[in-house]
Amino acid sequence: MALTPVTPQTPGFTAAVAAGAGAFFGLFVGTAQATGLIGILIGAALLGALGFVFAGMTDKEKPLRWATFALFVVLGYILGGLPEAVLGGLFGWFAGWFIFWLATSRYRQHLAPYLTPGQVLWHYTFRVICGVIFVFLITPILVVMPLSFNAEDFFTFTPEMLRFDPAGYSLKHYQDFFTNDDWQQALWNSIKIAPMATLLSVSFGTLAAIGLSQPHVPFRRAIMAILISPMIVPLIISAAGMYFFYSRIGMQGTYFGVVLAHAALGIPFVIITVTATLVGFDRSLTRAAANMGADPITTFFRVQMPLILPGVISGGLFAFITSFDEVVVVLFVGSAGQKTLPWQMFTGLREQISPTILAVATILVAISICLLTVLELLRRRSERLRGMSPG
């Protein structure tokens, strides 16, 4: 979908911008090899030349991009061996794409025709800034993944790993996770506790949210404040409070105690998401149902529930993850029989060094991606149902 008709750029422009990029990356290669200045010059010259040449040959894009890729793989390999070859390859791919992106003016195609060059530049600068922030968000998770394949029992990138030596990698932490009783028991406990807590918070929370969204609720603000409180009270205070209180009534160290504590922590999320969904709920629908003779329970399950379901599900997922990822409260309220996955991870960090927790994290990230995809599909479905988006 092109907004603006474009013509290819002049070789001069392409070469100049490419040279700029080349200089920027050349600086890093240069400092790594000894001097930054030479790096800047070589980088600028190299990419500038490529830009100048390629700008005239936009019809042969594919082979030229492959050639650039190959060139930088070889350059990287000469400079520093296998790891650098990989980096070189990445950069070569980027350089090829970047030069043709400039040369064919594709960058201008999707922007409104009336934008000034300055605005176009800002548009892309802004994208780069956002990209950097996304990198900040995601890097810690990406760093964890290779470390979970570490052949040693530490959270360290060993020289073998950096050389891509297969000896530096192993699946032993995954094996440990799947064969070790402690981990399996912890996983099992988490699976027993989290859904139960979620069920409690979702059922109570949804009812209360429906109550709260009625037009006339006395003491609404105060009630809301109390219901939200588990989210705003600092966790350590909640943990200590529940710990003393639950031990007094004999629930410390019981399955039920942990479930109740986690359900309380998850409730604010359910309340917030469900009330938000109910804001858009058309009240005349329940009246219509009542009008046609449905009793309140039928109305609720057949009319209201299907419509607010996305809110309930997303609140439920938040509640689930709260329980599934909670360590401070369970550490106090639970005992051996309720040792959850995060607790086991906490012990793993404190008492024994074991990248098994990273292996677990990697598995959980994979599961999270699945869950998020499901959530996204559900959202699309609900929006389609409510006719709010083209789907």
Partner 1 sequence: MSDTTQSGPVLAADGTPLKRSLARALRMQKLRALMLIAPLLLFILLTFILPIADMLFRSVENRIVSDTLPKTVVALQEWDANSGEAPGEDVYAALAADLIVAVEAKTHTRLGTRLNYEMTGISSLFRKSGRKVKRWDLAEDAPFKEKFIDIDKDWADPEVWRTIQTYSPKYTNGYFLNSIDMQKGADGAEARPENQQIYITLFQRTMFMSLVITASCIVLAYPIAWILANLPARSANLLMILVLLPFWTSLLVRTSAWKVMLQQQGVINDVLVWLGLVADDARLVMINNQFGTIVAMTHILLPFMILPMYSVMQTINPSYLRAAKSLGATNWTAFWRVYFPQSVPGIGAGSILVFILAIGYYITPEIVGGTKGVFISNRIAYHISSSLNWGLAAALGAILLVVVLLLYWAYDKIVGIDNVKLG
Partner 2 sequence: MKLTKLTALAASTALCAPMAFAEMADEMTIVSWGGAYSNSQLKAYHEPYSEKTGVKIINDESSAEAVAKLRAMNEAGNVTWDVVDVVAADAMRLCDEGLALEIDADTQLAPAPDGTPASEDFGELLVSDCFIPQIVYSTTFGYRTDMVGDTPPDDICDVFDLETYPGKRALEKRPINNMEWALLCDGVAKEDVYDVLETEEGQEQALAKLDTIKDSVIWWSAGADTPQLLADGEVVMGSTYNGRLFSVIEEQKQPVGMLWDAQVFDLDGWIIPAGLSPERQARALDYIMFATDTQRLADQAKFISYGPARASSAPLVGQHAELGIDMAPHMPTDPNNAKNTFLYNYEFWADYRDDIDAKFQAWLAK
Q: Please, which of residues 278-297 interact with partner 1 by CB under 8 A?
A: 279
Contact positions with partner 2 (CB under 8 A) in 347-366: 347, 349-353
Options 13-21, 42-50, 54-62, 341-349: segment touching partner 1 (CB under 8 A): 341-349
Q: Strand pairing partners for 169?
A: 150
Given 2, 121, 167, 236, the residue binding partner 1 (CB under 8 A): 236
Q: Select 58 or 254, whichever has its Cβ closest to partner 2.
A: 254
With CB under 8 A as the rule, give the number of residues binding partner 1. Answer: 100
Binding mask 106-145 for partner 1 (x = CB under 8 A): -------------x--x---xx-xx--xx-xxxxxx-xx-
CA 110 to chain centre: 27
Tokens of 48: 């500038």
336 interacts with, out of partner 1, partner 2, none, CB within 5 to 8 A per kind: partner 2
Residue 169 sits at φ, ψ, to 5 deg, of -115, 150
**Which residue in 187, 193, 191 sits closest to 357, CA to CA?**
187
339 interacts with, out of partner 2, partner 1, none, CB within 5 to 8 A per kind: partner 2
Question: CA-to-CA distance for 331 and 326, rounded, in angstroms?
Answer: 9
Contact positions with partner 1 (CB under 8 A) in 64-93: none
Least distance in angstroms from the C-beta of 147 to partner 2: 12
Q: Select 54 or 149, whichever has its Cβ closest to partner 1.
A: 149
In the chain, where do the E strands start and end?
A: none
**3-class SS at 169?**
strand
With 0-12 / 13-18 / 19 or more C-beta atoms within 10 angstroms meaning exposed / middle / buried, residue 54 is buried
Binding mask 123-162 for partner 2 (x = CB under 8 A): -----------------------------xxxxx------
Question: CA-to-CA distance for 172 and 151, rounded, in angstroms?
Answer: 7
Contact positions with partner 2 (CB under 8 A) in 293-322: 296-297
254 interacts with, out of partner 2, partner 1, none, CB within 5 to 8 A per kind: partner 2
**3-class SS at 150?**
strand
58 interacts with partner 2 by CB under 8 A: no
Options 19-27, 54-62, 124-132, 203-211: segment touching partner 2 (CB under 8 A): 203-211
Q: Which amino acid is at 157?
A: F
Given 221, 293, 295, 336, the residue binding partner 1 (CB under 8 A): 221
- The alpha carbons of the chain give a radius of gyration, in whole angstroms, of 29
Q: Select 60 or 287, whichever has its Cβ closest to partner 1.
A: 287
The dihedral through the CA atoms of 334, 339, 342, 344 has a sign that is: positive
Options 56-64, 96-104, 171-179, 235-243: segment touching partner 1 (CB under 8 A): 235-243
Question: CA-to-CA distance for 162 and 98, rounded, in angstroms?
Answer: 28
Binding mask 343-362 for partner 1 (x = CB under 8 A): --xx--x-------xx-xx-
Q: Which amino acid is at 290?
A: A
Give the C-alpha distances (Å, rounded to integers) separating 57 from 70, 89, 104.
Answer: 18, 22, 10
**Which residue in 381, 226, 265, 261 sits closest to 313, CA to CA?**
381
Q: Which positions lie near partner 2, rule CB under 8 A?
A: 152-156, 203-204, 207, 243-244, 247-254, 256-257, 260, 296-297, 331-332, 335-337, 339, 347, 349-353
